[in-house]
A and B are shown apart, each in its own frame.
Chain A
Amino acid sequence: MPIHEKSLIRQENLIEHEKLEIDGIDVSGHWSTFIQTRVVTDYNEDMETEVAALPGGEHIHRCWQCGSCTNACTVNAINPDFNPRYWIYLTRIGMEAELLRDKDIIWQCISCNKCTYACPRDVNPEGVMKALSHWLELKGHTEKSPSMHFDEVFSEQVFQTGKIEEGRTIRRFFARTGQELNQDWLVEMIIRMVRHLPVKLLFAMGLQSVLKPRTRGWGKARDAIHEYVAEKDAEHRKALKLDPPHGPA
């Protein structure tokens, strides 16, 4: 349902009594529906600062709530509950509990950058969505999303070798998220793919996945990147008032 049609009164706040009398007045049934008062007491005043401390969230303070992001959003067109404008609003005023109602879909931002293109205030809403996903995960509100697993599998390979071999990334991602590789559509796709391929090319593809492409002399870059990543991890955890990361820094 588009947000403008959404009732501001939530179903769970409506109370109807089959039989109730107060001070001698019968208030039973539908015509005496009670609306439970919504009192927000749990503002998290650090939320905006914390999200702004994570990569992508830096400019969240610029937002003036015009809604251009949500209006342009690819995912919103498919799932109207996906509402970047609203989440930016909740983050800025610190309504954490309200934001957590949508915690399981925020990671679905597809990074098409339509919001960033439309934003008149350079908020970088796409970056804010990534920062919010990281924030939710670091704070322990959500599990690591499939997308974050993919980012990590992919990035680890780039940091280690300088390059990506797609087959390996895909296999690792499926293993890590506990998915079967023999899904009907994947099998069908591979059948269609190899149908016309010459043996020579198939052999070359197989060889590539065994040899693993890598950038020569990458060792020093790898170490410098790992050092930077560890530093940043520690910085982020500190900004979110979490314990320092375990293991070697």
Chain B
Amino acid sequence: MNETPKKYGRVAYYPGCALEGSGHAYNCSTQEVGKVLGLELVEVDNWNCCGAMEVKNVDPKLQTYLSSRVMSIAANEMGFDTVMAPCNGCYHNLKKAEYDLEHDPETVAVVERISSKAGHETYKSGQVETIHALDWIKEGIGEEGLKARVKNSLKGIRVANYYGCMYTRPRHIFPEKDQGPGSESTLQPHFMDDLLAAAGAENVDFPLKTACCGGAHTLSDSDMSTKLVMNILRAAEASGADVVATECPTCHSGLEMHQVRGEKRFGFKSKVKILYFTQLLGLALGVKPKPLGVHENISDSMDFLKSKGLA
């Protein structure tokens, strides 16, 4: 239907564990948006967990090995030079692995050793470029391209764009960010703002874009996470937002979970809805809520979307 865009037209897709569980809706909506935009996703064959925060806490070099195996399969067995990871955690870990393998000989030695024992080719830094779902659409389609394809404008929806921690911190593992006009900023990220604005949404001035939701201790230190989430949701409402747009399954389920927990434990009241940015983009591109997994969200936004003529 649409011509295949030059950049990121066909990339290796690494959904990661969360997108097969609690982040199922993010997985569906990402794939739906890809389909409509003519961006082809080929899932990394027989992938494994990227190591997440937890394996890093046991041993950072093991986390690097786990992430490197995913990139090795994409590069050496499937011939891809780009891996797209929509989950902030996976994206961060693949980027971190790339950085460590380029700069730390000890890490390289550990990865070589485990890779050869595990019987697959060792990943070498530079073989693939890891991108986030935001880069994928922003660079692959761009705002103009997106505007041209919008069927139902998100007009009248006020959005607080929430990026979380892992998308921008620490700066050194994202060498392509902070490179002047057009590039993503680590202090004031704007790719999600740009895409949703192109789809017609009104972005509010939201000060907690890169605040932490406490995702790492969501179950082991729940009170802390609930406090952090209440801060984020309160700030979003104070900024006038109807919706918090997310781009990470851990942030998303953290916000949803602690919105409920805050209600139950701290009498916290909030009306703000929580939606993945891919769900919002999908709606704008004319996809129905169901294939985008909107009904799977705990934060029930159906009535709100109906009132805006989007469902």
Contacts and interface: CB of A to CB of B under 8 A. Distances in A.
Interface stretch (A26-34, A42-50, A95-103, A187-195): A187-195
B51 A116 contact: no
Contact of A189 (B165, B228, B257): B257
Interface stretch (A60-68, A162-170, A238-246): A162-170
A146 interface: yes
A108 B295 contact: no
B22 A166 contact: yes
The main secondary structure of chain A at its interface with chain B is helix
A224 B118 contact: yes
A218 B219 contact: no
Interface in B28-73: 46-49, 51-55, 57-62, 65-66, 69
B298 A189 contact: yes
A117 B51 contact: no
B169 interface: yes
Interface residues of B, number: 60
B300 A110 contact: no
A154 B65 CA distance: 16
A130 interface: yes
Interface string B190-232: 0000000000000000000001101011011100100110000
Interface string A210-246: 0001011110110111011100100000000000000
Contacts of A198: 295
Contacts of B261: 185, 189
Contact of A150 (B22, B54, B65): B54
Contacts of A195: 300
Given A111-B216, A112-B169, A75 B48 contact: no
B300 A223 contact: no
Interface residues of A, number: 63
Contact of B17 (A114, A146, A164, A218): A164
Given A112-B212, A154-B55, 10 more contacts: A74-B212, A75-B224, A78-B228, A147-B217, A164-B17, A164-B52, A185-B264, A189-B298, A193-B298, A215-B46
A55 interface: yes
A55 B107 CA distance: 12
A217 B260 contact: no
B78 interface: no
16 contacts: A74-B212, A78-B224, A78-B228, A113-B166, A117-B171, A127-B60, A146-B217, A151-B55, A167-B21, A189-B257, A189-B260, A196-B300, A197-B295, A208-B20, A220-B119, A221-B114
A56 interface: yes
A220 B117 contact: yes
Residue among A74, A108, A110, A220 facing the most chain B CB atoms (10 A cut-off): A110
B49 A158 contact: yes
A184 B264 contact: yes
Given A208-B20, A229-B59, A221 B47 contact: no
A116 B169 CA distance: 8
A215 B224 contact: no
B54 A155 contact: yes
A195 B294 CA distance: 12
